[in-house]
Amino acid sequence: MKDNLPRKRMVNVGMGILGVVISLDGLTMPFRSHEMTTIPVHHLLHSGMAAGAGLLAMALAANLPRRDRERGGWVLPAVLAPVAGLALMWPSEYAYLMGHHWLHFLDHLGIALCSLLAVFAAQAYVRGLGWPTLVYQHLERSQQSGHPAAGDG
Amino acid sequence: MIVALAVCALGGLWFLIRRHIELSRPLAVLAWALIMLGVVGVIVATLVGRFGGLYTFLYPLPFHGNWPGWSTGVFLIGLVLVNVGWMIWCLQMLGAVLRAFGGLRGALAWDYVWHRQAFQAAGRQPPPPEAFPALVAGFDGLIAGMDATLLGVSLLVRWLDPRVVINPFWAKNLTYFWAHTFANLIIYMLAALIYVGLPYATRRSYHISVVLVIGWWSSMIFILTNYFHHLYMDFVQPGILQYFGELSSYLTAVPVTAVTVFSALMPVWQSRTRWTLGAIFLYSGLIGWVVGGIGAEIDASVPFNLHLHNTLWVPAHFHTYLLGGCLLFVLGWVFLLLESRSARETSGIMRGTIVALSFGGMIVFLLDFYFGGAYGVPRRYATEPAPGPILAQIATVGAAIMLAGFALAFAEGLRLRWSRAIDRPLWPGELREEASHEG
């Protein structure tokens, strides 16, 4: 049991670092890439960034004290944050955002924060619910690739 | 009909799981309130706004009708609210089984199935039967809820910004994935009432078994993939998914239904079952589950689906399992509660009248749907070809008789409720103990 503790901590730190790297890559993308991709590819990139933010959330939630009871206040953010995150993936605005890097950055920041909040909140509500939320969210965003905008090239 | 029975199932399962672990009441009330608010939205959009995009609201129909734009918006917001309430309930249920039964491994009874000797040697107990509907509904419901979130947000964005164009086939897959999973889960959730209610009626305990657990695992996976049978006519759907849809349709229903029904019959055999209205409704619900399930499997088989697709066969099967299965499970449960807490009993004449009217009318009502489907009468047509009209007239008589039976049952329920004398909640353990003292 004692041997497992440092290993768990190492896994958490590794997961957190991986999450930060993926999230930072997604957040800084608007300043590094100025080419318009297709909407499905753009949404796939968002889903990758959301997964990174989710990993970071799981690493952060590992520090929450163990508790057998529900933390009921966390349910609403766990359910509503993905709604807000999806609303930020408004396909018809991408062309405008591609020309305004800071706005695009803020959009990515919002998507990443929504993912982070949803996964952290689910894990905070009841330990163990963070992982399914992370996977569901990742699938949700990647599935939005079936959502082409008018004039999607 | 679907949301009404779903709310019954949510409440029933929540009540049963709360016997094992503490659950937050405000959260449950919040989930219920959001669902009700969503229902109000749908009613306003439909009755006031004349929204006519059907309950399937397949894209792009909601945006191309002869109704005002606001009614589409209110309808979609209503659905999103229903889904938010549903997801809160799913998170609560999944969280409850994870907490109560030792995480996912414990809730799945993994060690009970694969390492049984060590499991028993350690003195461990598998989760009770009602935990499996909670796990399956919580887990699959969350996936379906995420799907509905994606669909709902996409449609709302399209409503606010007509420049956004959605892939209709993608939207159809999402719509049926959510709607079919949601509707399908109702009967699986209500199976929990069987697991707890039958021991009360028969005074025998309901044993968990490896076969039952594996049946629930099968349902947990295949409930998520059986919706493909709604897309047999969509030629652009990859062929492999169509085969998978047919296979999933059988693997979802057959294992758990067969095991549950068979194991529900066992406690009755040579038991001292008191055939009260509660017990009769619960048992008759099993018949509706089986008949409606077989009707669904027939329609989910590709050669039959070629003939039955979009005919009255479709409402035939879902009315059978919703009306003749789910509703009877709910009524059975309610009557068991009433009978266990009332000083009065239902007379034999009243019981016989209720049973004859309810089931007689229901059989006439449902059979006409099946005949119509078998004759190829299409559904959702304002003017039906023959023999649709005559069958509809006969079915109306059946429905009226059935409603008279349910009205009598309602009056009898009120009578039992007014003579409440004994407060004896449904705790099978205590009841078994009581029965053993009597013996």
Alpha-carbon distance of B81 to A43, in angstroms, equals 25
What H or E segment, with its residue span, contains residue B263? helix B239-265
| Orientation angle between helical segments B131-160 and A75-87, nearest 10 degrees | 30
What number of other Cβ atoms are within 10 A of residue B169's Cβ? 14
Single-letter code of the amino acid located at B106: G
What are the chain B neighbours of A137 within 8 Å (beta carbons)? 146
What are the chain A neighbours of B171 within 8 Å (beta carbons)? 146
The reply to whether omega before B387 is within 30° of 0 (cis) is yes
Average pLDDT of span A98-120: 92
Contact between A90 and B164 using a beta-carbon 8 Å cutoff: yes
Measured between CB atoms, which of A79, A86, A149 is closest to B153?
A: A86
Q: What is the pLDDT of residues B252-268, one digit of tens each?
A: 877 777 888 888 888 88
The DSSP code sequence of B75-129 is HHHHHHHHHHHHHHHHHHHHHHHHHHTTHHHHHTTHHHHHSHHHHHHTT--PPPT
Rounded to a whole number, what is the distance in Å from the CA of A28 to chain B's nearest CA? Answer: 25
Coil vs helix vs strand at B403:
helix
Token pair listed for A56: 């970071």
The per-type count for chain B, helices as H runs and strands as E runs, is 17, 0
Contact between B22 and A144 using a beta-carbon 8 Å cutoff: no
Contacts 24+ apart (CB under 8 A), B46-51: B46/B71, B46/B75, B49/B74, B49/B75, B51/B75
Count of pairs with CB atoms under 8 A, one residue in A, one in B: 103
Q: What is the pLDDT of residues B80-126, one digit of tens each?
A: 999 999 999 999 999 999 999 989 999 999 999 999 999 999 999 99
Judged by a CB distance cut-off of 8 A, whether residue B421 touches chain A is: no
- Most confident range, picked from A66-80, B72-86, B260-274, B285-299: B72-86
Contact between A79 and B99 using a beta-carbon 8 Å cutoff: no
Judged by a CB distance cut-off of 8 A, whether residue B238 touches chain A is: no
Q: What is the pLDDT of residues B323-346, one digit of tens each?
A: 999 999 999 999 998 988 888 889
Cα torsion for B165, A84, B49, B33, to the nearest 10°? 150
Supply the pLDDT for residue A146.
Answer: 56
Pair B150, A140: CB distance under 8 Å = yes
- pLDDT of B428 higher than 60: no
Rounded to a whole number, what is the distance in Å from the CA of A79 to chain B's nearest CA? Answer: 7
Total length of chain A:
153
Domain with CATH 1.20.210.10 in chain B: 1-261
Supply the pLDDT for residue B98.
Answer: 93
What is the residue whose two structure tokens read 């040579």? Answer: B270
What number of other Cβ atoms are within 10 A of residue B47's Cβ? 10
Least confident span in A59-68, B26-35, B400-409:
A59-68
Which DSSP category does B205 fall into? P
Judged by a CB distance cut-off of 8 A, whether residue B139 touches chain A is: yes
Fold exhibited by the domain B1-261:
Cytochrome C Oxidase; Chain A (1.20.210)
What number of other Cβ atoms are within 10 A of residue B239's Cβ? 8
Contact between A72 and B103 using a beta-carbon 8 Å cutoff: no
Torsion angles phi and psi, residue B342, rounded to 5: -110, 145
- pLDDT of A153 higher than 70: no
Rounded to a whole number, what is the distance in Å from the CA of A143 to chain B's nearest CA? Answer: 8
Which DSSP category does B420 fall into? B
Supply the pLDDT for residue B134.
Answer: 96
What percent of chain B lies above the pLDDT cut of 70? Answer: 96
Instruction: Report the residue of B146, B169, B170, B181 to disrupt the A interface, i.e. the one with the largest count of A CBs within 10 Å.
Output: B146
- pLDDT of B430 higher than 60: no
Q: What is the pLDDT of residues A8-62, one digit of tens each?
A: 888 889 999 999 999 999 888 888 876 767 888 888 888 889 999 999 999 999 9
Q: What is the pLDDT of residues B9-60, one digit of tens each?
A: 999 999 999 999 999 999 999 999 999 999 999 999 999 999 988 878 888 8
Q: What is the pLDDT of residues B345-388, one digit of tens each?
A: 899 999 999 999 999 999 999 999 999 999 999 988 888 888 98
Alpha-carbon distance of B299 to B205, in angstroms, equals 36
Which DSSP category does B267 fall into? G
Contact between B161 and A92 using a beta-carbon 8 Å cutoff: yes
Q: What is the pLDDT of residues B120-157, one digit of tens each?
A: 999 999 999 999 999 999 999 999 999 999 999 999 99
Supply the pLDDT for residue B367.
Answer: 95
Q: Where are the domains of chain A?
A: 4-64+74-146
| Orientation angle between helical segments B277-300 and B328-340, nearest 10 degrees | 170
- pLDDT of A5 higher than 80: no
Supply the pLDDT for residue A150.
Answer: 43
Contact between B22 and A90 using a beta-carbon 8 Å cutoff: no
- B435 versus B246: the higher-pLDDT residue is B246
Q: Enumerate the H helices of chain A as residue ranges.
A: 4-32, 39-61, 75-87, 94-98, 101-125, 130-143
Alpha-carbon distance of B248 to B263, in angstroms, equals 23
- pLDDT of A149 higher than 80: no
Alpha-carbon distance of B296 to B293, in angstroms, equals 5
Alpha-carbon distance of A54 to A39, in angstroms, equals 22
- pLDDT of A111 higher than 50: yes
Q: What is the pLDDT of residues B205-260, one digit of tens each?
A: 888 889 999 999 998 999 998 889 888 988 888 989 988 889 988 888 777 778 88
Alpha-carbon distance of B268 to B256, in angstroms, equals 19
- pLDDT of A129 higher than 80: yes
Closest to B136 in 3D by CA, of B196, B41, B218, B237 = B218
- pLDDT of A81 higher than 50: yes
What percent of chain A lies above the pLDDT cut of 70? Answer: 88
For chain A, the average pLDDT equals 84
Contact between A90 and B157 using a beta-carbon 8 Å cutoff: yes
Q: Which residues pair with B164 in a beta bridge?
A: A149
What are the chain B neighbours of A126 within 8 Å (beta carbons)? 91, 94-96, 98-99
Pair B140, B23: CB distance under 8 Å = no
Judged by a CB distance cut-off of 8 A, whether residue B236 touches chain A is: no
Closest to B102 in 3D by CA, of A64, A8, A68, A119 = A68
Closest to B57 in 3D by CA, of B208, B205, B159, B204 = B159
Token pair listed for B72: 């589409």
Token pair listed for B341: 């807490």
Residue partners of B129: CB distance under 8 A and separation at least 6: B192, B195, B196, B206, B208, B212
Residue partners of B397: CB distance under 8 A and separation at least 6: B364
The complex's ipTM? Answer: 0.88
Alpha-carbon distance of A50 to A88, in angstroms, equals 12
Judged by a CB distance cut-off of 8 A, whether residue B185 touches chain A is: no
Measured between CB atoms, which of A68, A70, A147 is closest to B170?
A: A147
Supply the pLDDT for residue A144.
Answer: 64
Supply the pLDDT for residue B266.
Answer: 82
- pLDDT of B425 higher than 60: no
